[in-house]
């Protein structure tokens, strides 16, 4: 069973930065490189929304318009880790952030396309 563990969340002032990490483990017969990875976020009472995705080889990375130019997704397949570097944070970025793994190598913006999820890490941006 694949397990994903996020870390790096916290409280930060507007304009500040955080780097989220998601460590993957528990692969059987496959490797981290067999999975596209995504970052999503969710505010209480709202649907989980896509933030950024990255293909198995680190290519075709994409972020939603609201975070473009501020957030960068990357991965280190040797360490089984995917990162989300978040700069110039805004109060509207406040949410629980989740990483997700999708078998097959490509990312998707759809929640239902992912096979495994982490437990989430809280990001709070104060004004």
Q: Is the pLDDT of residue 63 over 90?
A: yes
pLDDT in tens, 68-92: 999 999 999 999 999 999 999 999 9
**What's the pLDDT band for 59 if we cut at 50, 70, 90?**
confident
Residue 60 binned pLDDT confidence (cut-offs 50, 70, 90)? confident
Instruction: List Cβ<8 Å contacts ≥24 apart for 54-61.
Output: 54/82, 54/107, 55/105, 55/106, 55/107, 56/105, 56/106, 57/33, 57/105, 60/106, 60/107
Q: What pLDDT, in 10s, does the model give residues 15-57?
A: 999 999 999 999 988 999 999 999 999 999 999 999 999 999 9
């Amino acid at each position: 069973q694949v397990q994903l563990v996020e870390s790096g969340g916290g409280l930060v002032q507007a304009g500040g930065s955080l780097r989220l990490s998601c460590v993957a483990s528990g692969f059987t017969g496959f490797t981290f490189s067999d999975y596209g990875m995504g970052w999503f976020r969710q505010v209480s009472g709202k649907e989980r929304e896509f933030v950024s995705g990255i293909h198995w080889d680190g290519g075709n990375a994409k972020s939603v318009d609201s975070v473009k130019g501020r957030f960068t997704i990357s991965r280190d397949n040797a360490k089984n880790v995917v990162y989300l570097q978040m700069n110039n944070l805004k109060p509207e970025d406040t949410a629980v952030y989740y990483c997700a793994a999708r078998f097959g190598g490509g990312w998707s913006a759809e929640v239902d396309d992912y096979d495994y999820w982490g437990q989430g890490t809280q990001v709070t941006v104060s004004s």
